[in-house]
Amino acid sequence: MTDEVFLIPARPTATAGLLAEAAARRGMAVRALGPGFGELAGRAVHWCGGPHAAARVAGTLGLGLLEPPDDWLTRLPERFTGRRIELTTLGRAARELAGSGRPAFVKPPREKSFPPAVYGPGAPLPRSLPAATPVLVSEVVDFAAEYRLFLLDGEIAAGSRYAVHGRLDPAPLDEDAHGADVRGFAAALLSATGTDLPSAVTVDVGLVGATGRYAVVEANMPWFSHSYAARPEAVLDVVLRAAGPLHRVRAADLPYVTP
């Protein structure tokens, strides 16, 4: 019996299913999360699923889950974001949107506690969450195309286009007409800011329709990111680094481990 376990939710997403198949091909034991997950304690468990379930099992299973900092986007030079971005709270964002009367794009930094969208007059922010919930607020940008990059050790391990003009339209990065430009933008970004991210992370990049320039959309946890048309085997490499045994986490990645 192998000690390497790939743990997925009881109801896995399409991405978790694809990565589970890739993990099984490597000889890993694939398990679905159930009431008896404590039996896996002591084995080398890797997780692919949502943050709420991860928080429930991480302590028992000794997981080291890597996440980008909440304020990473706000610290980027504007040449990489193409817009102003602020990390604030849900309550403050609601008050400012109501006072200004102008719409803004609002999203949770990492967890999908409410839908990322344009909020403002006629589209109020949710009231069911605590006012202290952290949110990122940015100017509204129209992305002509959006791409997901799975990064490992400062390099693109896998990538995919996932949307065109806001509509889901996955395609492998290297089959997209802008693939080389996306890679060039990512190389410049990582050269300037790569040390501010964990060694395994997901970064989304968009082509801004109004300017024809590229901008960072957001950064996320690989273990809770759709792979779209990226190669599952390469995505798996990133997920295994980002959500594996805590004792294997590299020293440089320790600041990015979820508490």
The predicted pLDDT at position 1 comes to 54
Structure tokens at 127: 């009231």
The predicted pLDDT at position 195 comes to 76
Rounded distance between C-alpha atoms, residue 116 and residue 138, angstroms: 11
Residues 6+ apart with CB under 8 A from 39: none
Q: What is the pLDDT along the chain (259 residues), one digit of tens a residue?
A: 579 999 999 999 999 999 999 999 999 999 999 999 999 999 999 999 999 999 999 999 999 999 999 999 999 999 999 999 999 999 999 999 988 888 999 999 877 788 888 998 878 898 889 999 999 999 999 999 999 999 999 999 999 999 999 999 999 999 999 999 999 999 999 999 877 999 999 999 999 998 999 999 999 999 999 999 999 999 999 999 999 999 999 999 999 999 8
The predicted pLDDT at position 58 comes to 97
Tell me how crowded residue 195 is: count the other CB atoms within 10 A of its CB: 8
Domain regions of the chain by residue span: 84-138
- Single pTM value for the model: 0.93
Tens-place pLDDT, residues 195-238: 799 999 999 999 999 899 999 999 999 999 999 999 999 999 99
Angle in degrees, 0-180, between the axes of helices 14-25 and 232-242, rounded to the nearest 10: 90
The predicted pLDDT at position 89 comes to 94
Structure tokens at 105: 């794009």
Rounded distance between C-alpha atoms, residue 30 and residue 78, angstroms: 42
